[in-house]
Amino acid sequence: MDKPFRPATRLLRAGRPHRGWVNTPVTRASTYVFDSVQAWRDTRARREEERLPSYGARGTDSTHALEDALVELEAGHRAKLYPTGQAAIATVLLAYLRAGDHVLLTDAVYEPVRRFCAEHLSRLGIEYTYYRPDATGIAALIRPNTRMIYAESPGSLTYEMPDLPGLAERARRHDCWLAVDNTWASGLLYKPLTLGADISILAATKYLGGHADVMMGAVVTNARAWRALERATIDLGQTVGADDAFLVLRGMRSLPLRMAQHARSALRVADWLLGRQEVARVLCPALPGDPSHAIWKRDCSGANGLLTVEFSGEFGEADVERLIDSLRLFGIGASWGGFESLVIPVRLDTSRSLPDTGRRGVMARLHIGLEDPEDLIADLEHALSALSPVSRPL
Ligand SMILES: *Cc1c(COP(=O)(O)O)cnc(C)c1O
């Protein structure tokens, strides 16, 4: 028997036509017409269970091709696409939770999700509690009405990783869903569904698109979780355009190559930063001293371009803002996962509900892009020297 192809090979073949054009042509479409009333009726009866062309909002060849590639990447059952990562998250919360339910959310959740919970879950009578990003102490927070554990691994800004197989076991015992925001790994470096999660959420805006030119979200589920997601997605009118699906699928072909380079450069920059006296810590689970390093090593197959730098106690917010302003190769802006380097100041006091146990100084998040890392280091060196007065003791 033939050996199964390795992941990089499978990713290059996923979601492609079996013959003819190498890429699935872009199908911009709303209406699909049928040969007869019987064929129309037949499709409408079957489309809940099968993926058939029936109406533009339910998908075209272009979106189906991307869904296939994402299912391959995440080793899932089926996938749905959304106009943003945030829309994907909102749909997941609405699909599986109803009035009277309770959801446990990581305190390192992507920040806009917090307002969605405060404004919309509350309004719908759905309770929520934040748990520590490494999931310690979660057992005491589970209630009889807990219907979902929502994780993000590694978490936003500080990259804590919970023991996902342990969380999955807990969720199964309690008969509740385990949903994971898998944007950090973008499906490539970490496989929540194979570690026991039911639902994996991706901001394809980040590394999947990879070129800072498209917004998209995706959700991949196992077989058990599929039906509720598909129905909610259709009821909420969530869909994406064919051109955007084409761009994300094109980005995915070079995902392993780009990710490996982002990681190589980020680790090179992290090494250099750790040798600077202005830097107290560099947060990144791939670094040996990181609190999540052991879990990262066990559950992930690589790293990405994200680093959060914690500055020494002597530096205040204004110093760090000055440093950020003086960087030339790092754009100041939201998102990450494109080809370019980015930076933002980080404030945990406004983006967390639980007290942060690790004492942290002022921080900045870097996205290490595909520029030559030596140029990025030179840029950081120049900015850091402007920060530290020359008279400072060595
Ligand atoms: C960026 C991001 C999102 C949201 O993606 P958008 O496409 O910008 O809405 C969700 N989760 C995580 C972890 C992210 O970093």
In this structure, what CATH number is given to the domain that contains residue 357? 3.90.1150.10
In a domain, 179, yes or no: yes
C-alpha distances (whole Å) from 164 to each of 119, 133, 193 are 28, 11, 10
Taking the C-alpha atoms of residue 205 and residue 198, their distance in angstroms, rounded to an integer, is 22
Per-residue pLDDT tens digits for 241-289 = 999 999 999 999 999 999 999 999 999 999 999 999 999 999 999 999 9
In a domain, 2, yes or no: no
Shared domain for 171 and 37, answered yes or no, is yes
How many residues comprise the chain? 394
Shared domain for 126 and 248, answered yes or no, is yes
Question: Which of 253, 280, 300 lies at the terminal end of a domain, its last residue?
Answer: 253
CA of 92 to the centre of ligand 1 (A): 14
Question: Which of 204, 235, 253 lies at the terminal end of a domain, its last residue?
Answer: 253
CA of 295 to the centre of ligand 1 (A): 23
CA of 135 to the centre of ligand 1 (A): 21
CA of 14 to the centre of ligand 1 (A): 24
Which residue among 111, 114, 116, 206 has the greatest number of ligand 1 atoms within 8 angstroms of its CB, and so is best to mutate? 206
Locate 257 and state its tokens.
């190559």
Per-residue pLDDT tens digits for 33-89 = 999 999 999 999 999 889 999 999 999 999 999 999 999 999 999 999 999 999 999
Locate 154 and state its tokens.
């590694």
Euclidean distance between the first and the last CA atom of the chain, given in angstroms as a whole number = 64
Ligand 1 site, residue 203, Cβ cutoff 6 A: yes
Shared domain for 119 and 174, answered yes or no, is yes
> What is the DSSP annotation of 107-136?
TTS-THHHHHIIIIITTTT-EEEEE-TT-T
* 99 alpha carbon, distance to own chain's centre: 27
Ligand 1 site, residue 153, Cβ cutoff 6 A: no
CA of 90 to the centre of ligand 1 (A): 11
The domain in which residue 293 lies consists of 255-391
Q: Which residue has the tokens 């040969």?
A: 35
CB atoms within 10 A of CB 267: 19
**Main-chain dihedrals φ then ψ at residue 390, nearest 5 degrees:** -60, -25
Taking the C-alpha atoms of residue 309 and residue 31, their distance in angstroms, rounded to an integer, is 50
CA of 203 to the centre of ligand 1 (A): 5
pLDDT at 356 over 90: no
Ligand 1 site, residue 204, Cβ cutoff 6 A: no
Ligand 1 site, residue 198, Cβ cutoff 6 A: no
Q: Which residues of 66-122 form beta strands (DSSP E)? A: 78-82, 102-106
Instruction: Provide the whole-model pTM.
Output: 0.96
Q: Residues 283-286: contacts with CB within 8 Å, 24+ apart?
A: 283/157, 283/158, 283/159, 283/307, 283/308, 283/309, 283/310, 283/363, 284/159, 284/308, 285/154, 285/159, 285/161
In a domain, 63, yes or no: yes
Stated as kind and residue range, the H or E segment containing 171 is helix 164-173
Ligand 1 site, residue 217, Cβ cutoff 6 A: yes
pLDDT at 301 over 80: yes
Shared domain for 172 and 289, answered yes or no, is no
Phi-psi region of 135 (alpha: psi -120 to 50; beta: other; left: phi over 0): left
Per-residue pLDDT tens digits for 87-136 = 999 999 999 999 999 999 999 999 999 999 999 999 999 999 999 999 99
Taking the C-alpha atoms of residue 82 and residue 305, their distance in angstroms, rounded to an integer, is 24
Shared domain for 261 and 169, answered yes or no, is no
Shared domain for 210 and 228, answered yes or no, is yes
DSSP type of residue 339: S
Taking the C-alpha atoms of residue 50 and residue 43, their distance in angstroms, rounded to an integer, is 9
Ligand 1 atom closest to Cα of residue 89 = 10
Shared domain for 64 and 171, answered yes or no, is yes
Ligand 1 site, residue 85, Cβ cutoff 6 A: yes
Shared domain for 337 and 188, answered yes or no, is no
Confidence of residue 16 (pLDDT cuts 50, 70, 90): very high
Per-residue pLDDT tens digits for 131-173 = 999 999 999 999 999 999 999 999 999 999 999 999 999 999 9
Q: Are 287 and 293 in contact (CB under 8 A)?
A: yes
In a domain, 1, yes or no: no
Taking the C-alpha atoms of residue 382 and residue 273, their distance in angstroms, rounded to an integer, is 13
The reported pLDDT for the residue numbered 77 is: 98
Shared domain for 24 and 155, answered yes or no, is yes
Shared domain for 245 and 260, answered yes or no, is no
Ligand 1 site, residue 110, Cβ cutoff 6 A: yes
- Which residues make beta-bridge pairs with 203? 217
Locate 180 and state its tokens.
């994971």
| Pairing of the two strands 146-152 and 102-106 | parallel
Taking the C-alpha atoms of residue 293 and residue 98, their distance in angstroms, rounded to an integer, is 36
Q: Are 110 and 152 in contact (CB under 8 A)?
A: yes
In a domain, 334, yes or no: yes
Taking the C-alpha atoms of residue 323 and residue 325, their distance in angstroms, rounded to an integer, is 5
Ligand 1 site, residue 233, Cβ cutoff 6 A: no
Question: Which of 253, 270, 299 lies at the terminal end of a domain, its last residue?
Answer: 253
Query: Any idea what the CATH number is for the domain that residue 161 is in?
Result: 3.40.640.10
In a domain, 188, yes or no: yes
C-alpha distances (whole Å) from 88 to each of 150, 196, 250, 269 are 13, 20, 21, 32
* 181 alpha carbon, distance to own chain's centre: 5
Q: Are 328 and 303 in contact (CB under 8 A)?
A: no
Ligand 1 site, residue 181, Cβ cutoff 6 A: yes
Ligand 1 atom closest to Cα of residue 204 = 7
Ligand 1 site, residue 106, Cβ cutoff 6 A: no
Shared domain for 78 and 135, answered yes or no, is yes
Shared domain for 243 and 297, answered yes or no, is no
The reported pLDDT for the residue numbered 113 is: 98
Q: What is the 3-state secondary structure (H, E, C) of 181-244?
A: ECCCCCCCCCCCCCCCCCEEEEECCCCCCCCCCCCCEEEEECHHHHHHHHHHHHHCCCCCCHHH
In a domain, 349, yes or no: yes
Q: How many domains does the chain have?
A: 2
In a domain, 122, yes or no: yes
Cis peptide before 291 (omega within 30 of 0): no
